Structure 1
C-alpha cells in the first residue's frame, strides 16, 4: 500500500536529473553560440584582409600575404570543424534532456495512477465506515425502541 510514497523519491531524483541535464544543455548552447561567433569573426577578418588593398611591393610581401591568407583559411576550416563538433554535442545534450524528461513523465504518470488507486481505496473504506456507522445507528435506534416498547 501507499506505492505513491515509494515512488516520490524516484520522482525527486528524476526531476533533479532533468534539471541537471537542462543546465548542461544551456551551458552547451552557450558554448556552441561562442564557437559560431568565433567562426563569424574569423570569416569577417578573412574577408576584410582579402579585400584590403595592401600595397605589396615585392614578391616576398606577396608570398607573405598569401601565406597569411592560407593560415587564416585553415583557421576558418578548423573553426568550422569546432562548430560541427559543438553542434553534435549540443544535439546529444538535447537528446539527453528529452530522455530525462520522458523518464520523469513516466514516473509522474505512475505516481498519478497510484494516487488515484489509493483515493479509490480510501473512498471505499470511508463509504464502508459510513455504512457501518449508519447500520449501528439503525440497530441502536431499534434496540432503543424495543427497550422502550418493553418498558410500557
Structure 2
C-alpha cells in the first residue's frame, strides 16, 4: 500500500468532519435567522403599540396597564436581542470550526497529492529504466547474434 493510499481513510474522516461542521453551521445560520425574524416581528409589534393618543383621557387603571404592557414589551425586546446576539456568536464559532476543518482537509489533500506525484515520478523512472534495460538487452542480443 502506498503512502497516498494510506492517507485515503484519513482524508475520508476529515471530509466527513468538515461536512458535519458545515451542517452545524447551516443549523446555526438557520437558528440566527429565526431569532432575527422574531426580533423584527417583536419590534414591529412594539412600534405599532404606540403610547396613548395625545389629548385622550384614559382611566388610571388603563394607563397603568398600558405602561406595564409597554415595559413588558421592552423587556421582551431586550431578551430577544440577547438571543440574537447568542445565536450570532454560536454561528461565528461554527464558522471558525468550519474554517479549521477545511484547512485541515486541504492540508491532507495537498499532502496526498504530493505523495501521488512522487509515486508517479518514481513509477515513470522505473518504467524508463525497464525500457532502457530492455533496449540494452536487445542491442546486446543483436551484437551477439552478429546483426548490425
Indicate the TM-score class for this superposition, using the shorter chain for normalisation.
Answer: over 0.9
Matches within 5 A, 1:18-29: 18-29=18-29
Tell me the residue number matched to 1:85. 86
Between 1:137-146 and 1:18-27, the stretch displaced more is 137-146
Tell me the residue number matched to 2:63. 62
Q: Deviations over 1:2-56 (max 9, x none)?
A: 1000001111111111111111111110110000010000011001012564966
Q: Deviations over 1:98-121 (max 9, x none)?
A: 000000000011001101110111
Kindly indicate whether the alpha-carbon contact (under 8 Å) linking 1:31 and 1:86 is maintained by their aligned counterparts in 2: yes
In structure 2, C-alpha distance between the alignment counterparts of 1:135 and 1:56, rounded to whole Å? 113
Kindly indicate whether the alpha-carbon contact (under 8 Å) linking 1:22 and 1:97 is maintained by their aligned counterparts in 2: yes
Matches within 5 A, 1:39-78: 39-50=39-50, 53=53, 57-78=58-79
Kindly indicate whether the alpha-carbon contact (under 8 Å) linking 1:56 and 1:62 is maintained by their aligned counterparts in 2: no
Aligned length: 146
Between 1:55-64 and 1:107-116, the stretch displaced more is 55-64
More helix by share: 1
Matched, 1:98 2:94: no
With structure 1 as the length reference, what TM-score do the two structures score? 0.91
Q: Deviations over 1:44-71 (max 9, x none)?
A: 1001012564966310000000000000
In structure 2, C-alpha distance between the alignment counterparts of 1:4 and 1:56, rounded to whole Å? 83
For residues 52 and 32 of structure 1, do their structure 2 counterparts lie closer, same or farther at Cα, with a shift above 3 Å needed?
Answer: farther
Matched, 1:109 2:110: yes
Gaps of 5+ in 1: 147-152
Kindly indicate whether the alpha-carbon contact (under 8 Å) linking 1:39 and 1:80 is maintained by their aligned counterparts in 2: yes
When the two chains are superposed, the root-mean-square deviation of aligned CA atoms in Å is: 1.6
